[in-house]
Homo-oligomer: A and B are copies of this chain.
Amino acid sequence: MTPHLSFITLGVDDLERAVAFYRDGLGLATPGIVGREFEFGAVAFFKLNGGLRLALWPRASLAAETGLALQPRSATEFALAHNVESPAAVEALLAQAVAAGARLVKAAAPTFYGGHAGWFADPDGHLWEIAWNPHLAGLG
């Protein structure tokens, strides 16, 4: 497999609410919900770095597409991280997310690696770490 990710799809319970959070709350651009004409097709895409797209798709659609049973939420399955340029920017983005409906999971604090980070959960319980890491460029 080449080291290239095309999509990270977040399972959501309420697609409109999730789009509002990411588009209006966090300020990510999207053409909005597309694919409503197909059963389980309604989805919203956000273009990210390097050709990656973030997709918001109902958990029920993900279950239907894969044939898996719809399962309860689980916050410890995965996490996304967004790095910013300063400790102050960590605080600001966490505050922005909470104002938009996120739950503050861990207030921003110094990290063991000399950075500064905090965590929020989006309206579907998905974890985001907002971090400033002065050593990011040197990571293997």
Contacts and interface: CB of A to CB of B under 8 A. Distances in A.
B136 A81 contact: no
Given A80-B7, A140-B34, A96 B1 contact: yes
Contact of A51 (B50, B67, B79): B50
A59 to B, nearest CB: 5
Contacts of A51: 49-50
B73 A105 contact: no
Contacts of A41: 112
Number of copies: 2
A118 to B, nearest CB: 10
B105 A38 contact: no
Contact of A82 (B1, B26, B68, B75): B1
Contacts of A106: 65-67
A47 interface: yes
A66 B8 contact: no
A18 to B, nearest CB: 12
A50 B47 contact: no
Given A34-B140, A140-B45, A62 B76 contact: yes
Given A68-B75, A105-B67, A112-B38, A80 B9 contact: yes
27 contacts: A1-B26, A1-B82, A3-B29, A4-B49, A8-B81, A9-B78, A9-B80, A30-B140, A31-B140, A34-B140, A38-B112, A41-B112, A45-B139, A49-B52, A50-B50, A59-B76, A63-B76, A66-B75, A66-B79, A67-B106, A68-B76, A69-B76, A71-B75, A73-B74, A74-B77, A77-B77, A78-B78
